[in-house]
């Protein structure tokens, strides 16, 4: 499940040998109202075919550089970029030279587009690269997203957006100041099953989803960046629980008004000395909707169930996964062709830049979710029902 990191001095080292220089003090993820396009089933808010968009831009695809070459970049983003239509991999930013060499070979990259964290400022003069995708631990997102924006590049930040609301604000302001778009890696916004969830929430064909239950957990065996409070911002709530939070907000079209929460007793206190091992929480929404949720790094589960006033929707397994999602409804099972969530996500962002459309997963959305997560942590800490401030 993603990269494994540990801190060493002023670097963060992945289990794959990736070095990310850390200059911060750590204080500071139906079809998108579009059409199915091509074999990848890409959805574009502009409703233009990929070929039309390319024709309007003299056939130019946008170039992207991945910043951080851990497991998610290697296992998901790189392969997804082999399927995209409007964007292609043109460079990487890595703290490990041999990894850069391997990516250059595997993806036929121009070696001048292989950067270290010390040399990445040279990207400012590189017209091959339009977008930088920040794929580091969350505690480093703000530093590198701000740096990318100042280099004149559009930015995608993996989720969670950052580890504090203040850091999210800094990222948003940096992109506004440089007139660059900022998008958050909410891949499920481009998954057909979750898009159908959003469509049903909008049309209320199953009525309002009044009662929801979500569970996302897996067993972690060793320390990694997700067990480091400065790098991860927290434990399973930040890494897994955010999917449940975001899914509930998609299902209600609103953020919650109140949250309550309780941290689970730690069965592995040495492993989870800095972060929660597990946490259960309840979200109360403006029109009476309610979500009960549980997330853990020492358990199993990947489910999402929604009861509407006129029907139900159920993700019995792999509810929030990259692939293999299943979904049943009171009107019958859903069965969509497989897609690359990440290819659709990155192509949609390219469409935004090429057509001037605003991304549907902007920094403000990532900031909202961090506000909710911080309220859940406060509720767990105080034992109180906490009002969520999403202003």
Q: Considering the chain, tell me which residue range(s) the CATH 3.30.360.10 domain(s) occupy.
A: 192-338+363-387
For residue 57, the model assigns a pLDDT of 72
Beta partners for 131? 64, 154
For residue 55, the model assigns a pLDDT of 66
Q: Fold for 192-338+363-387, please state it.
A: Dihydrodipicolinate Reductase; domain 2 (3.30.360)
Question: What is the pTM assigned to this prediction?
Answer: 0.88
> How far apart, in whole angstroms, are the C-alpha atoms of residue 327 and residue 309?
18
What would the two tokens of residue 12 be? 């963060």
| DSSP output for 216-271 | EEEE--S--GGG-HHHHSSSHIIIIIHHHHHHHHHHHTS--SEEEEEEPPPS-TTT
Three-state DSSP at 139 gives: helix
Q: Name the nearest CA neighbour of 304 among 204, 208, 180, 217.
A: 217
Q: Which residues of the chain have pLDDT under 70?
A: 1-48, 55
H-helix segments, the chain: 50-56, 71-72, 78-80, 97-106, 141-150, 165-177, 192-203, 229-232, 236, 242-252, 341-355, 363-382
- Find the angle CA(253)-CA(255)-CA(258) to the nearest 5 degrees: 140
Q: What are phi and psi of 331, to 5 degrees?
A: -100, 0
> How far apart, in whole angstroms, are the C-alpha atoms of residue 131 and residue 159?
17
156-165 per-position pLDDT tens digit? 999 999 999 9
DSSP category for residue 201 = H
> How far apart, in whole angstroms, are the C-alpha atoms of residue 79 and residue 63?
15
Q: Name the nearest CA neighbour of 366 among 189, 217, 183.
A: 183
Q: Fold for 5-188, please state it.
A: Rossmann fold (3.40.50)
For residue 47, the model assigns a pLDDT of 60
Q: Considering the chain, tell me which residue range(s) the CATH 3.40.50.720 domain(s) occupy.
A: 5-188
């Amino acid at each position: 499940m993603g990269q494994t990191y540990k801190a060493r001095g002023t670097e963060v080292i992945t289990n794959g040998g990736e070095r990310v220089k850390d200059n911060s003090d750590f204080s500071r993820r139906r079809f998108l109202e579009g059409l199915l396009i091509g074999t990848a089933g890409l959805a574009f808010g502009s409703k233009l075919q990929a070929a039309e968009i390319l024709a309007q831009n003299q056939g130019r695809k946008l170039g992207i550089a991945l910043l951080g070459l851990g497991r998610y970049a290697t296992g998901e983003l790189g392969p997804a970029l082999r399927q995209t239509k409007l964007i292609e991999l043109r460079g990487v930013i890595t703290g490990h030279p041999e990894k850069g060499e391997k990516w250059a070979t595997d993806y036929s990259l121009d070696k001048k587009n292989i950067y270290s964290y010390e040399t990445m400022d040279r990207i400012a003069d590189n017209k091959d690269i339009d977008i930088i995708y920040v794929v580091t631990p969350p505690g480093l997102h703000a530093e590198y997203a701000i740096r990318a924006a100042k280099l004149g590049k559009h930015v995608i930040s993996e989720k969670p957006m950052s580890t504090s609301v203040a850091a999210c604000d800094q990222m948003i302001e940096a992109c506004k100041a440089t007139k660059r778009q900022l998008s958050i890696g909410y891949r499920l916004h481009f998954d057909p099953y979750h898009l159908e969830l959003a469509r049903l929430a909008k049309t209320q064909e199953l009525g309002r989803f009044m009662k929801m239950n979500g569970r996302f957990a897996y067993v972690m065996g060793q320390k990694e960046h997700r067990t480091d409070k400065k790098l991860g911002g927290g434990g399973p709530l930040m890494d897994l629980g955010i999917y449940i939070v975001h899914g509930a907000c998609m299902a209600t079209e609103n953020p919650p008004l109140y949250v309550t929460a309780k941290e689970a007793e730690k069965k592995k206190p040495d492993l989870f000395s800095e972060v929660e091992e597990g946490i259960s929480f309840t979200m109360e929404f403006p029109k009476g909707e309610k979500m009960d949720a549980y997330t853990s790094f020492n358990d199993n589960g990947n489910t999402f169930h929604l009861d509407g006033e006129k029907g139900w929707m159920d993700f019995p397994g792999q509810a929030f996964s990259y692939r293999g999602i299943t979904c049943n409804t009171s009107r019958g099972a859903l069965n969509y062709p497989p897609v690359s969530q990440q290819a659709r996500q990155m192509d949609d962002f390219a469409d935004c830049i090429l057509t001037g459309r605003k991304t549907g997963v902007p920094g403000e959305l990532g900031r909202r979710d961090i506000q909710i997560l911080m309220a859940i942590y406060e509720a767990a800490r105080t034992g109180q029902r906490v009002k969520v401030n999403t202003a």
